[in-house]
């Protein structure tokens, strides 16, 4: 006799005390933990209490027959599968079909044949053993998923923690909003001083989502921060050219990216350098959506810059910078394509036109309120839980 799974707890249901006793002793000899009931209602109450995974029941019983019992058992949200074997004196096709539709797993005819019952129980043991193994694997997967979820939550905290806080550098103030489509995202940005007279700022969007994109976004931020000293030295040279320096920084990063990147990922970027003395900004577009620029308070926003080639595609993309002259009250808005590509329930994209209109409507509001207003409008536009793509907005204002 095969050794049954240690988890089998059987419930015998029959209104005949002789059959009840016989089945109980037979199942106990197989090593099962056995309980018994004399009718279907009592049996259902016991199954509902939990712990039972095998029911051997007669078909004809008072109060609740075997078919109704099996139907009721199948309707319960039991944590483990309950295997059912029905004892029946009927061998008619219609009767057997009705039992199968009620959720019966197996049958045994009357008068009871213990050898046949033993064979039926071996099938039950195999099914319950497989089910128990599946339950253990599901539990392990749930534990692994829980650990992964905790790791991703920590990764999100760390990713956001590496972003700069809204703040000001002299007359230039920065503010932003970022919401990843998942726990972590491929959007990143930064802004920092380069000596006393210059600022660096950028927004980058790694193609794709998830951990790989987030790691590449972190690498982008790390690499550009690590180059701050070289940028400062280049801008401090006599007759330094702001536009040429900005283009050279992006070209150098493109070369390093191609050297280390063994994936199919690429990065779009809008990179900028700002001279705090002349209030001139140089912008380099690497496959990124154009920036939105308002020259003065109340002035319309216009798109500036062209897409060019993303980082990590060509060895010599020939990046060039465009120059902007800022004046007091000017605002410059950088955004990821997840912002303008955000779709409503009907599938319509938010679009750059709506983004421009929102920024213009909020041109008199403080920069933080303007950014928050855009983010709220995008959430309303989306209408559902979360965004399909990372949504990032980086804005600067000259006070």
List, for residues 198-211, the tens digit of each pLDDT value. 999 999 999 876 77
Average pLDDT over residues 219-225: 90
Contact 132, 5 (CB under 8 A): yes
Average pLDDT over residues 112-133: 89
CATH code: domain of residue 240: 3.60.40.10
H or E stretch at 293: strand 291-294
Closest CA relative to residue 390, chosen from 151, 187, 117, 89: 187
Cα separation values, 374 from 45, 179, 363, 385, 398, Å? 56, 12, 12, 17, 19
Phi, psi of 292 (to 5 degrees): -110, 130
Provide Rg for the chain, Cα atoms: 35
235 & 379 share domain: yes
167 & 133 share domain: no
Tokens encoding 330: 């000017």
Task: Check residue 170 and report its DSSP letter.
Answer: T
* pLDDT tens for each residue of 255-303: 999 988 777 789 999 999 999 999 999 999 999 999 999 999 889 999 9
Residue 305 — pLDDT band, cuts 50, 70, 90? confident
The pTM (predicted TM-score) of the whole model is: 0.69
75 & 175 share domain: no
Is residue 362 a part of any domain in this protein?
yes
127 & 177 share domain: no
Is residue 305 a part of any domain in this protein?
yes
173 & 69 share domain: no
Residue that the structure tokens 């003395």 belong to: 277
Query: Is 306 exposed, middle or buried, given 0-12, 13-18 or 19+ CB atoms closer than 10 A?
Result: exposed
131 & 166 share domain: no
Tokens encoding 248: 């050279």
Least confident range from 4-18, 150-164, 371-385: namely: 150-164
CATH code: domain of residue 115: 3.40.50.2300
* pLDDT tens for each residue of 323-362: 999 999 999 999 999 999 999 989 999 999 999 999 999 9
Contacts of 47 (CB under 8 A, 6+ apart): 11, 55, 73, 76, 78, 82
Instruction: Write out the residue range of the structural domain in which residue 129 sits.
Output: 9-137
Residues in a beta bridge with 261: none
Sign, CA torsion 214/261/339/280: positive
Is residue 2 a part of any domain in this protein?
no
Is residue 143 a part of any domain in this protein?
no
Task: Check residue 79 and report its DSSP letter.
Answer: S
Distance CA 379, CA 393 (A): 13
299 & 210 share domain: yes
H or E stretch at 201: strand 198-206
* pLDDT tens for each residue of 363-388: 999 999 999 999 999 999 998 777 88
Tell me how many domains the chain contains: 2
Contact 314, 306 (CB under 8 A): no
Strand 106-109 to 167-169 pairing: unpaired
132 & 172 share domain: no
Contacts of 158 (CB under 8 A, 6+ apart): none
Residues in a beta bridge with 292: 303, 333
Average pLDDT over residues 237-256: 95
204 & 115 share domain: no
Residue 182 — pLDDT band, cuts 50, 70, 90? low
Distance CA 282, CA 275 (A): 9
How many other CB atoms sit within 10 Å of the CB of residue 157?
12
H or E stretch at 24: helix 17-29
Angle at 172 between CA 169 and CA 178, to 5 degrees: 90
User: In the chain, what is the straight-line distance between the N-terminal and C-terminal CA atoms, in Å?
Assistant: 87
Sign, CA torsion 94/96/102/103: negative
Cα separation values, 2 from 5, 83, 126, Å? 9, 18, 10
Residue that the structure tokens 């990372």 belong to: 390
């Amino acid at each position: 006799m095969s050794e049954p799974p240690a988890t089998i707890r059987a419930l015998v249901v029959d209104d005949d005390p002789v059959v009840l006793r016989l089945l109980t002793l037979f199942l106990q000899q197989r090593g099962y933990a056995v309980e018994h009931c004399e009718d279907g209602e009592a049996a259902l109450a016991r199954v509902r209490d939990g712990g039972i995974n095998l029911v051997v029941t007669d078909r004809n019983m008072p109060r609740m027959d075997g078919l109704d019992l099996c139907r009721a058992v199948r309707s319960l949200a039991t944590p483990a599968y309950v295997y059912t074997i029905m004892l029946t004196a009927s061998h008619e096709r219609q009767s057997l079909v009705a039992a199968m539709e009620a959720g019966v797993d197996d049958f045994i005819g009357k008068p009871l044949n213990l050898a046949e019952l033993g064979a039926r129980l071996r099938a039950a043991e195999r099914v319950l053993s497989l089910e128990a193994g599946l339950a253990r694997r599901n539990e392990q997967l749930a534990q692994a998923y829980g650990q992964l979820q905790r790791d991703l939550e920590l990764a999100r905290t760390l990713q956001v923690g590496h972003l700069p806080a809204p703040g000001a550098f002299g007359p230039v103030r920065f503010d932003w909003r970022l919401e990843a489509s998942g726990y972590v995202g491929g959007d990143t940005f930064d802004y920092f001083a380069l000596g006393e007279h210059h600022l660096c700022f950028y927004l980058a969007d790694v193609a794709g989502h998830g951990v790989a994109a987030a790691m590449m976004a972190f690498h982008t931020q790390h690499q550009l921060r690590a180059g701050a000293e070289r940028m400062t030295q280049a801008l401090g040279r006599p007759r330094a050219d702001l536009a040429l320096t900005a283009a050279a920084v992006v070209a150098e990063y493109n070369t390093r990216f191609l050297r280390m990147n063994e994936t199919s990922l690429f990065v779009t970027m809008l990179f900028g350098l700002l001279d705090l003395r002349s209030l001139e900004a140089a912008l380099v577009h690497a496959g990124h959506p154009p920036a939105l620029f308002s020259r003065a308070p109340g002035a319309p926003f216009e798109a500036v810059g062209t897409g060019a080639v993303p980082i990590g595609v060509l060895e010599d993309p020939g990046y060039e910078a465009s120059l902007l002259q800022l004046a007091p009250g000017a605002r410059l808005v950088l955004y990821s394509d997840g912002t303008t590509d955000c779709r409503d329930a009907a599938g319509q994209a938010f679009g750059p036109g709506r983004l421009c209109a929102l920024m213009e409507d909020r041109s008199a509001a403080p920069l933080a309120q303007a950014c928050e207003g855009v983010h709220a409008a995008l959430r309303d536009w989306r209408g559902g839980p979360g965004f399909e793509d990372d949504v990032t907005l980086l804005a600067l204002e000259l006070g």
